[in-house]
Structure 1
Amino acid sequence: MTWLAVLGASVGCYLLKLLGLSVPASLLAHPVVARTALLLPVALLSALVAVQVLGGAGALVVDARLPALGLAALLLWRGAPFLVVVVGAAALAAVLRLLG
């Protein structure tokens, strides 16, 4: 049964990719479509981050991840290097989990 699900998902992904490749170039050149295509990755990544930070066991969970995300956003806004952002957020989460 598992292999049937894997094969079905594979065929579905292939057909979805084929559908995307069959869209006419004139439709993709439309300004609204182009702007939406530019904004979609940002929206999807934001949704994934929100689910990972606030989700847990089917409920809204506020723990050390939320302040760590806030610190990461602040450091990115201030122009800190990516490694500093990651290490700073991880260190804050670790300290908060140690204290709590």
Structure 2
Amino acid sequence: MSLLWVAVIAASVLSFAQKWIGYQAPPDVLERPRVSRVTTLLPIALLGALVATQAATSGSEIVLDARLAALAAAAGLLWARAPFLVVVIGAAVVAAGLRALGWS
């Protein structure tokens, strides 16, 4: 068995153990205001970090390209309360247009 498979199996076991430990937490701990607020905001922070990483980096370099402009267009459309489908299509049109103009 290669080192890669050992790492995959170890990560799977650790992930399962972490999930199981989470289920063992007493309900009164989870209902505390601070814990409740953190668990509510954590997915938003993680998603924001993922979007920022995917939109502004390429490998280990920070890049400014059509993805960032498309993200800005999507943010503007969301701010204007456009429907989600309009936001997705608008961002795609901005990215495609900029890439067609040679700004990759």
TM-score (norm 1): 0.95
Quote the offset at 1:3 in angstroms: 2.4
- The answer to whether structure 1 residue 67 and structure 2 residue 69 are counterparts is yes
Which residue does the alignment assign to 2:13? 11
Quote the offset at 1:5 in angstroms: 2.0
Which residue does the alignment assign to 2:95? 93
Which residue does the alignment assign to 2:58? 56
Gaps of 5+ in 2: none
Offset from partner CA, 1:57-90 (integer Å, 9 cap, x none):
2110110011110110110111111111001101
Structure 1 distance, partners of 2:57, 2:87, is 22
Q: Which residues in structure 2 correspond to 1:41-52 (within 5 Å)?
A: 41-52=43-54
Which residue does the alignment assign to 2:86? 84
Give the secondary structure class of the aligned counterpart of 2:28: helix
What is the root-mean-square deviation in Å for CA atoms of aligned residues? Answer: 0.9
Which residue does the alignment assign to 2:33? 31
TM-score (norm 2): 0.91
Gaps of 5+ in 1: none
Structure 2 distance, partners of 1:34, 1:71, is 33
